[in-house]
Amino acid sequence: MLAENHRRPGCTLQIPSRMALASIFTRSLSLEERDPMSIVMAFIMGGLICLVGQLIMDLTPYKVTPAHILVGFVTGGAILSALGFYGPLVKIGGAGATIPISGFGHNLAQGTLEAVQAKGLIGAFSGGVTAGAVGIAAAVIFGYVMAIIFNPRG
């Protein structure tokens, strides 16, 4: 399944063959194996998370900005994940629970918990950064590309 190993002193990188990558990609995208209800559940879960944020903004007596919602949802996702409540939401709602910003908090908390188990106390400082690196990098890159394409003012 893997192409030949390209070995150099100190390097153990294994490069997958083109066929291996193609089979992994098509296997992850095949909709025949998935339950159509999972799409509906993801839509409902994502909608409920957004509904909670909108209700907080509309029904609170003081001014709640989107920045407050952002920080609250990341913190709430991390707390719910640490307490073991966000995992079942991810199992039920799939991408509907992982795509919103509360899913980022869940990702940070899970990365931190795994790193603490593997590395001890030092994992508390490195786990969240490692787990969130891909999401942060993607946000920066896509934000930059969108800024170039749409030429924002201000």
pLDDT confidence of residue 16: 61
Tokens of 52: 């909670």
6 domain-assigned: no
Within a domain: 22: no
pLDDT tens figures, 43-74: 999 999 999 999 998 898 888 888 999 999 99
CB atoms within 10 A of CB 100: 23
Asked, for residue 16, whether it belongs to a domain, the answer is no
How far is Cα 130 from Cα 112, in angstroms, rounded to an integer? 8
Q: How many distinct structural domains can be found in the chain?
A: 1
3 has a pLDDT exceeding 50: no
Looking at the chain, the number of H-run helices and the number of E-run strands are: 7, 0
Query: Taking the model in full, what pTM does it have?
Result: 0.69
Structural domain span for residue 63: 35-150
Residue 86 within a domain: yes
Backbone angles phi, psi at 95, to 5 degrees: -65, -25
- Residue 154 binned pLDDT confidence (cut-offs 50, 70, 90): low
| 100 neighbors 45 (Cβ within 8 angstroms) | no
Q: What is the pLDDT of residues 14-48, one digit of tens each?
A: 666 666 655 655 555 555 556 788 889 999 999 99
What token pair was written down for 35? 């339950």
Q: What pLDDT does residue 1 have?
A: 45
**What phi and psi values does residue 8 have, to the nearest 5 degrees?**
-130, 160
Residue 29 lies in a domain: no
In a domain, 117, yes or no: yes
For residue range 114-135, list pLDDT tens digits in order. 999 998 888 888 888 888 888 8
Q: How far apart are CA 65 and CA 63, in angstroms?
A: 6
CA dist 111 → 85, 96, 107 (Å): 16, 20, 6
CB neighbours (10 Å) of residue 28? Answer: 8
pLDDT at 45: 94
**75 within domain boundaries:** yes
Q: How does residue 106 score in pLDDT terms, banded at 50, 70 and 90? A: very high
Count other Cβ atoms within 10 Å, centred on residue 42.
18
Is residue 119 a part of any domain in this protein? yes
Taking 70 as the threshold, does the pLDDT of residue 12 lie above it?
no
